[in-house]
């Protein structure tokens, strides 16, 4: 599901004239945050209810470079939702020509306020399993 | 006082082929942290003792651009230490030729754990006023 | 003039629970880029026409902290436009309550493709002097 | 091979009180750059000789969180060197207790100045295959 658009800043580029590889993990964060918000529950609310979802794994494939001032579309969706972990998948494309730029995923654990692994609340599992 | 050296990363550059202006505030943080450490008290310890020093003002002058792989020297020193605020002054130079790259300052308030402005502990005032 | 809105990412916060001071210079870039775009000329086009506007000075005053998931409004406008330099002024406010968060400015030189200082093209001076 | 040490900045932390996941890709860059330098050839020199090594894939596993002011050790080494791509493997550990924090890898293509995929120069293959 397309969840957001973002415009490439000068500060995102490097001297190769393209978006530096380190920047896309920020856009992945936007992806999962906006997917959750679109489903009716912000990550801020999830956290306030006693559940943090730190990234425990991230994978990125860089297909083509984004360039300064490009508008990029962020697609995100959960997958592989388990009792105490879930995956988000992402795709970043350039809006003007649909070029796939970066795809990837992040895996998240569920921990409570004191850092202990816990099971997802049922409500959150339901949310993550909702069809797009 | 020279407090640290840092090497420019590819991720710090932008498509003009120079370090993007947003990156120097990170180096200012290194500057004040290492000045304090060299004086015998890390910022982590200061914070643990109930005193936070958020940046309330920052000023930067960009004299010449740093480039990829340059080693930059960070100079830092406090100035204008008052009851509840203090200034740090910075200078960033390129090591190879001594070229002045960026100069500037940050002003810091002193707040307690609950965010209220407080006076600096005496010990910290003494530390900040110590001659280089 | 309000030129953009941006939502605070988790990655923008620090362990004080607020947006770290280094992040606002990115938002200043968004401010001036979107001001120019709203006036009919993107910075990308200006650059393509042979004129780069590097930041030669930046000043920031932090009035109150932005927090995770806040929507921030970015106001920007040029001021003090001269033959070969111009200033942009910025204000960042929280949308929910109008709280002023950060104000500041950046001063820009005008350089040609080979890095030499040049005068602004007349068209750009006219653009920067247009009333809001 | 241990190639560098880096100290966690306040700006690297997030409101969970740990280093935000987006920051480690910067440290991976330090890892491969310093491995190459230790082998006698900086990435800057490689690039000047007509060979760029963009990241085409990145994988990160977050084992434990780094915290403010931690000194982190960066280990890096190439693996799986082929005609036109190579992998770097990384491990980030906390110096004080040896705790493994993040491990991962980046895969790099070899492209020439105009962005076309090319084979690695022989000299670079030899360098990457040198035993630690």
Contacts with D10 from chain B: Cβ below 8 Å: 29, 33, 43
The sign one gets for the Cα dihedral C40, C45, C49, C51 is positive
Question: What is the per-residue burial (b if ≥16 Cβ within 10 Å, else e) of C76-104?
Answer: bbbeebeeebbbbbbbbbbeeeeeebbbb
Rg (alpha carbons) of chain D, rounded to whole number: 16
Rounded to whole angstroms, how far apart are CA atoms B70 and D32?
A: 16
pLDDT at residue A53 tops 90: yes
Residue D14 near residue D68 (C-beta atoms within 8 A): no
Q: What confidence score (pLDDT) does residue D108 get?
A: 98
pLDDT one-digit tens code per residue, C21-53 = 999 999 999 999 999 999 999 999 999 999 999
Q: What confidence score (pLDDT) does residue D104 get?
A: 98
Which of D10, D14, D24 to mutate to test binding with chain C, by most C CBs within 10 Å of its CB? D14
Provide the greatest CA pair distance for chain B.
Answer: 47
Residue D73 near residue D93 (C-beta atoms within 8 A): yes
The distance of D9 to chain B (nearest Cα, Å) reads 7
Q: What confidence score (pLDDT) does residue D132 get?
A: 63
What CATH number belongs to A2-129? 3.10.129.10
Please give the torsion angle defined by the CA atoms of residues D35, D40, D43 and D45, in that order, rounded to the nearest 10 degrees. 180
**Residues of C engaging D, defined by a Cβ cutoff of 8 Å:** 10-11, 13-18, 20-22, 68
pLDDT one-digit tens code per residue, B68-101 = 999 999 999 999 999 889 999 999 999 999 999 9
Rounded to whole angstroms, how far apart are CA atoms A79 and A89?
A: 7
Q: What confidence score (pLDDT) does residue C132 get?
A: 64
The secondary structure of chain A, three-state, reads CEEEEEECCHHHECCCCCECHHHHHHHHHHHHHHHHHHCCCCHHHHHHCCCECCEEEEEEEECCCCCCCCEEEEEEEEECCCCCEEEEEEEEEECCCCCEEEEEEEEEECECCCCCECCCCHHHHHHHHCCC
**Which residue in the set A14, A21, A22 is minimally distant from B14, CB to CB?**
A14
Rounded to whole angstroms, how far apart are CA atoms B58 and C103?
A: 11
Q: Where are the domains of chain C?
A: 2-129
pLDDT at residue B132 tops 70: no
Rounded to whole angstroms, how far apart are CA atoms A128 and A86?
A: 8
Q: What confidence score (pLDDT) does residue A132 get?
A: 63
Place of tokens 């927090």: C67
Residue C6 near residue C74 (C-beta atoms within 8 A): yes
ipTM of the complex: 0.96
- Among A99-103, B98-102, D53-57, D118-122, name the one with the lowest average pLDDT: D118-122
Token representation of residue C33:
């880029």
**Which residue in the set C21, C25, C62 is minimally distant from B21, CB to CB?**
C25
Rg (alpha carbons) of chain B, rounded to whole number: 16
Token representation of residue B76:
């830092």
Residue D78 near residue D88 (C-beta atoms within 8 A): yes
**Residues of D engaging A, defined by a Cβ cutoff of 8 Å:** 16, 18, 21-22, 25-26, 29, 52, 54-62, 65, 106
Token representation of residue D60:
């990160």
∠ Cα B54 B60 B65 (to 5°): 130
The distance of A11 to chain C (nearest Cα, Å) reads 7
Q: Which of the 8 DSSP states describes residue D56?
A: E
Nearest CA in chain C to D69: C15
Q: What confidence score (pLDDT) does residue C91 get?
A: 98
Q: How many residues does chain B have?
A: 132
Asked whether the beta carbons of residue A52 and residue D26 sit closer than 8 angstroms, the reply is no
């Amino acid at each position: 599901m397309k969840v957001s658009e973002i415009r490439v800043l000068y500060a995102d580029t490097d001297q190769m004239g393209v978006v530096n590889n380190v920047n896309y993990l920020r856009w992945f964060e936007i992806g999962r945050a906006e997917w959750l918000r679109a489903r009716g529950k912000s990550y801020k609310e999830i956290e306030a209810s006693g559940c943090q979802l730190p990234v425990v794994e991230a994978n990125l494939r860089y297909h083509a470079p984004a360039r300064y001032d490009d508008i990029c579309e962020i697609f995100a969706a959960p997958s592989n939702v388990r009792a105490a972990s879930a995956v988000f998948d992402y795709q970043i494309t350039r809006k003007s020509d649909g070029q796939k730029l970066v795809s990837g995923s992040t895996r998240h654990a569920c921990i409570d306020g004191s850092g202990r692994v816990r099971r997802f609340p049922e409500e959150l599992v339901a949310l993550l399993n909702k069809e797009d």
